[in-house]
Amino acid sequence: MRKQVVVFLAFLSMFFVSSGVARALELTKIGTTDLTGKGIGSTTSAYTYSLRSFSLYGKAEASKSVSVKIDDVTYSSTANAAGDWSTYLANLTYDTHQVTISTTGETSLNFALTISSAAATPTPTVTTTTSATKGGTSSATLPVSGALDNTYLLAALAMIMFGVGVSLRYRN
């Protein structure tokens, strides 16, 4: 029985170690506005913000170089060991800017960022897809993708509960 518990704990530790290694490129904040899981640049193609100077924050694979291109100007950042990156943008004009965030080996995030003095609160614009069906066309809003951290926690909890159940069964 000890062998089973040791194998289970080894499997569980490998699960936690492997879950934090690779991280998809994501924009998590514009200025102080939290955008985690909003799909900015992937499922959301436009965003409006009211300030002209702010920082962009995001997630990427640890130690990867991240390129942020605003119109024709490119800013560089490097993700830290936790995968967090940021870059400061200053004095953008009140206009719509094309933003591309990229890193090697990942799909780039592309969206239109409108800097508007009239925007009281930043508002995301969700894109829709149109697909052909037998009776014509159908339009549906894409789901917002997010981090898998909660999924990993639930899966780990389920494995722990399963392991405890197996241990108790064999103990009796």
Q: Write the DSSP assignment of 128-168 as a string of letters.
A: EEEEEETTEEEEEEPPPP--SHHHHHHHHHHHHHHHHHHHH
pLDDT, position 115: 92
pLDDT band for position 123 (50/70/90)? Answer: low
Homologous superfamily of domain range 2-171: Immunoglobulins (2.60.40.10)
| DSSP class of 107 | P
At 28, which helix (H) or strand (E)? strand 26-30
- Between the alpha carbon of residue 62 and those of residues 75, 81, 105, 124, the distances in Å are 18, 5, 13, 27
Position 12, amino acid: L
Q: 15 by DSSP, 3-state: which?
A: helix
| DSSP class of 40 | B
Q: How many CB atoms lie within 10 A of CB 56?
A: 24
> In this predicted model, what pLDDT tens digit does every residue of 30-82 receive, in sequence order?
999 999 888 898 888 999 999 999 999 999 999 999 999 999 999 999 999 99
Q: For the chain, what are the domain ranges?
A: 2-171
DSSP E strands, 42-143? 44-49, 54-59, 65-70, 73-78, 84-89, 96-102, 109-115, 123-126, 128-133, 136-141
For the ranges 39-53, 80-94, 119-133, which has the lowest average pLDDT?
A: 119-133
Q: Is 87 a residue whose pLDDT tops 70? A: yes
